[in-house]
Amino acid sequence: MLFLYNTFIRFYYLLVYFTSPFNQKARYWIQGRKNIWNRIKETVEPSSKIVWVHCSSLGEFEQGRPVIEAIRLKMPEAKILLTFFSPSGYEIRKNYSCADYIFYLPIDTRVNARKLIKFAKPSMAIFIKYEFWYHYLNELRKANVSTYLVSANFRPDQVFFKWYGSWYRKFLKNFTYFFVQNQQSMDLLATIGFKNVNVTGDTRFDRVTKIAQEAKSIPLIESFVEGHKVLVAGSTWPKDEELILPLVSRFPELKIIIVPHEVTDVHVADIISKSSVPAVRFTKTHYDEISHATILVVDTVGLLSSIYRYGHIAYIGGGFGVGIHNTLEAAAYGIPVIFGPNYQKFQEAKDLIACKAGFSINTVDELIDLLNMLLIDENSYLESANNAKQFVNLGVGATSKIIEMIAAS
């Protein structure tokens, strides 16, 4: 199996390399790893106490961010090394001020893993949610580095719990401790012999609560809203937009803010061209025209978490693809959240549905029926909104539990 794993890793690198001239993300992925060993060797101070935190992409970074910032407060003498696998994390957070060193993670080979540990000499390593890299984990264990998996969420369909998963379980044996989101994850790990587990919850609750408390005021959006009820559609894909755009004919008093997942000129222009009502781009509109628009398309990144504050209802994209995006960012403002059918891998989405703060839809007709209920029946709306806020508030506190246990170990 190790031979197949190593072969796959190298094949993946070659695939990205040959794709890079035609794909911007692949190009970032390759370019970001050029001369990486020289950069690591020249900048990282191994004589310092290094805490290594690894995130796959931006979503995992937001999950790990409360832990990073808590470490900064708890261990001010430590230097934080932050690595990313994906450009969606590194390119947006490469100047994050709470980390001392930020790099792409070199591909997972035995040589690379040994190099990173030799150059950085981490005193501990923290991997966020789903990051399982055989050689890095193996070499960390050999170097006696305490290694933690934070906000992990295990499911029965994962390979670790299959009859053929014995080799993959070797990945898990390298972790010093697992901080998991829920009891199911703890029970699953127990079935394959792991007792070094604690249910601490999901650190994203801490993060989204802080974001909501510190949300930016956006004057241009305030001019757009002007007292109207607003549907904020966040991280949308074309299939989501097919459902959202027809809503204006059924709910003429409703204003819609669309924040696409892929912010490209072509995609944004396509959304606006398909609108049957006045629609404007956030970066190319003015105060004198925005109040007359019904749809606002946000064609820049970094604002969505603050934009939810202007929403009466949130629609979360991705549910007609591989899976929904962050529902908690919207729920933290105490508003109902709606999403497509592919949410089963997301515990928070299932919990939101269970407490009647979240709703899954399959068709535009189902979406219209749901909006009729939430926009017309004030009691139904208030129940859902209050449930959303309470759900997020009850989830706060995972970060402090994790830091206390790490500090005591």
pLDDT tens per residue, the chain (409 residues)? 899 999 999 999 999 999 999 999 999 999 999 999 999 999 998 888 999 999 999 889 999 999 999 999 999 999 999 999 999 899 999 999 999 999 999 999 999 999 999 999 999 999 999 889 999 999 999 999 999 999 999 999 999 999 999 999 999 999 999 999 999 999 999 999 999 999 999 999 999 999 999 988 999 999 999 889 999 999 999 999 999 999 999 999 999 999 999 889 999 999 999 998 889 999 998 887 888 899 999 999 889 999 999 999 999 999 999 899 999 999 999 999 999 999 998 889 999 999 999 999 999 999 999 999 999 999 999 999 999 999 999 999 999 999 999 987 7
Distance CA 53, CA 82 (A): 5
Same domain, 337 and 238: yes
Rounded to two decimals, the pTM is 0.87
Question: CA 13, CA 406: separation in Å to the nearest integer?
Answer: 34
Does one domain contain both 63 and 122?
Answer: yes
407, part of any domain: no
Q: Are 317 and 234 in contact (CB under 8 A)?
A: yes
Q: φ, ψ for residue 269 (rounded to 5)? A: -60, -35
Pair 231, 370 in one domain: yes
Tokens of 191: 């079935």
Cα 240 from Cα 9, distance rounded (Å): 33
Residue ranges making up the domain that contains 377: 216-391
Q: With respect to residue 167, please indicate whether it lies within any of the assigned structural domains.
A: yes
| 171 and 224 together in one domain | no
| pLDDT the model gives residue 291 | 83
Number of structural domains in the chain: 2
Same domain, 174 and 34: yes
Rounded to an integer, what distance in angstroms lies between the CA atom of residue 387 and that of residue 356? 7
Domain co-membership, 340 together with 280: yes
175 and 297 fall within a common domain: no
Residue 84 belongs to some domain of the structure: yes
Residues 157 and 240 in one domain: no
Answer whether residue 211 is part of any domain: no
Structural domain contains residue 208: no
pLDDT score of 47: 83
